Structure 1
Amino acid sequence: MARIVCVLGNKGGTGKTTLSHMIAHGMALLGKRVVCVLTDLERERLSKAGRLYLPFDAREAANLAKVVATLNEVEDWFGVIDGAGNRPDVDSHLANLADLVLLPFRDSHEDLRTVLRDLEWMPRAWGLPSQWPQHAAGRAAAQASIDRLLPGMRHRLLDPIPEVLSSKLFLQYRIPATLPWQLTNACVELAMQVLELLDVQYESPHAIEVAS
């Protein structure tokens, strides 16, 4: 049976789709076979050309049921499902299917309040700080907001994913033949966190060649 990771959350603009592709790409770089599943009706189908993972269009309920059934029958694959986007009933269904649920949030009070409600609603989910400030003052302010608005949730948060502007390349119909090394590194670091939460071993990232 494949492992299923769902990237969910009731707050828009947190980068769920981009992070789903980053996880899938990073897992592939770590030696895993991955399908990245689209369920958001506002998104468009993407080409598999040049990708190390397989994008799958499951915006229709029948296609979602099909890919989940297939994943349940195969070994050594991973499914990364991008949340439905303002369809809580679908997200609730996906959360029940998942081996791991991730809830991205940005450095804003609105995001923090929303992710707190989602973490309380889904007690097995993990919060994922995304597009996080890279300069020291910004990180300190963001951490202070977490301490104030997410009391008692520190143990359910992953390490922050910094803002990487080139991550939008994953949302192009076809991605470039070569991706920036900063993006590659961010994908690998994110995928490592995910695989460790799933208690899955992976190839050493030191063996991965990245462009500089």
Structure 2
Amino acid sequence: MAILIAIIGNKGGTGKTTLSHLLCHGLGLLGRRSACVLTDTTRQPLDPRGRRYVIADARSLDTLKRIIDKLRPLDDWIGVIDGGGNRPDVDRRLYALSDLVLLPFRESHEDIRTVVADLEQFPRAYAVPSQWPVNAWQREAADRAVAQLMAPYLGRILRPVPMVSASKLLLQKRLPAQLPTPLNNTARRFARQLLEVLDLGRELPTSLEEEEGEAVCEGIPEEEMPLRLKR
């Protein structure tokens, strides 16, 4: 059976679409088969050529149902659903059908307030600090805001995904022939983390490419991060 991961949340501009493609790209680099499922009606499907994952256009609920019905029976596949923003009814639907639910948020207090409300509404979901600062001072300030405003939810916050300017390349209509090493490494790290959460991360290969040029964002202490889903 395929695993479904939904990236949802009421606030727009938190990086849901970027994280969807970043995750699928990282899964591809790790040898995993995945499909990036577009449900955001404000976006257009991207050209699948040259990508390490399938792109599925599910911008209507009927199409989404057909795609999920085709995807679910496939062994060793992961479907990553880009949920779009400010669509509470769609978010509830995606939450109900997914195995893992992610709520990205950026460092602003407005984002943090919104993701706290979403964590209350979706008790199985995990928050993902998205486009997190890599500058040490800015990262410390962002982590401090999370610690103060999200103290009851620290066990449901995943490791931050750092800001990588090259991530916008994944959202180009046609993917460039080559992608920068820092982008590839960030995608691998994100994909590895979610495979660990799903308890699928054992014996993953380590690429020598990850030893250089990697965007590092340690952020919130490791002991406060969940290792796998609570069942």
Check whether TM > 0.5.
Answer: yes
Describe the shift of the 1:205–1:165 C-alpha distance in structure 2 as closer, same or farther (beyond 3 A). Answer: farther
CA distance in 2, matches of 1:110, 1:205: 38
Which shifted more, 197-206 or 144-153?
197-206
Aligned to 1:112: 112
Instruction: Give me the whole-angstrom Cα distance separating, in 2, the residues matched to 1:140 and 1:208.
Output: 29
Percent of residue pairs bearing the same amino acid type: 51
Contact 2:16 2:84 in 1 (8 A): no
Report matched runs for 1:24-39 at 5 Å: 24-39=24-39
1:197 corresponds to: 197
The residue that corresponds to 1:150 in the other structure is 150
Query: Counterpart in 2 of 1:64?
Result: 64
Q: Deviations over 1:89-145 (max 9, x none)?
A: 111100011110000000000000000000111111000001111111111111111
- How far apart, in 2, do the equivalents of 1:14 and 1:170 lie? 16
Q: Aligned partners of 1:87 and 1:146: how far apart in 2?
A: 25
Q: After TM superposition, give the deviation of residue 70 of structure 1 in Å.
A: 0.9
Which stretches in structure 2 are left out of the alignment for 5+ residues? 214-231
Aligned partners of 1:126, 1:24: CA distance in 2, in Å?
Answer: 18
Matched residue of 1:9: which SS?
coil
Q: TM-score, normalised to structure 2's length?
A: 0.88
Root-mean-square deviation (Å): 1.5
In structure 1, runs of 5+ residues without a counterpart are none
TM-score by length of 1: 0.96
2:96 equivalent in structure 1: 96
Any conservation in 2 of the 1:112–1:146 contact (CA below 8 Å)?
yes
Asked if the contact 2:4/2:78 (under 8 Å) is kept, the reply is yes
Cα separation, partners in 2 of 1:72 and 1:110, compared to 1, 3 Å: same
1:164 alignment partner in structure 2: 164
With over 3 angstroms needed to count, the CA separation of the structure-2 counterparts of 1:177 and 1:208, relative to structure 1, is farther
For 2:143 and 2:189, the matched residues in 1 are separated by 20
Decide whether aligned partners of structure 1 residues 68 and 133 sit closer, same or farther in structure 2, where only a CA change above 3 A counts. Answer: same
CA change 1:186–1:205 in 2 (3 A) is: farther
SS at 2:161 equivalent: coil
Question: What is the aligned length?
Answer: 212
Match of 1:206 in 2: 206
Residues of 2 paired with 1:74 and 1:203: CA distance? Answer: 22
- What is the Cα deviation at residue 38 of structure 1? 0.2
Q: What is the one-letter code of the residue matched to 1:150?
A: M
8 Å contact kept, 2:5–2:81: yes
- CA–CA distance in 2 between the matches of 1:115 and 1:141? 18
Is residue 30–residue 203 contact of structure 1 (8 Å, CA) maintained in 2?
no
The one of the two structures with greater contact order (alpha-carbon pairs below 8 A, sep at least 6) is 1
Aligned counterpart, 1:179 = 179
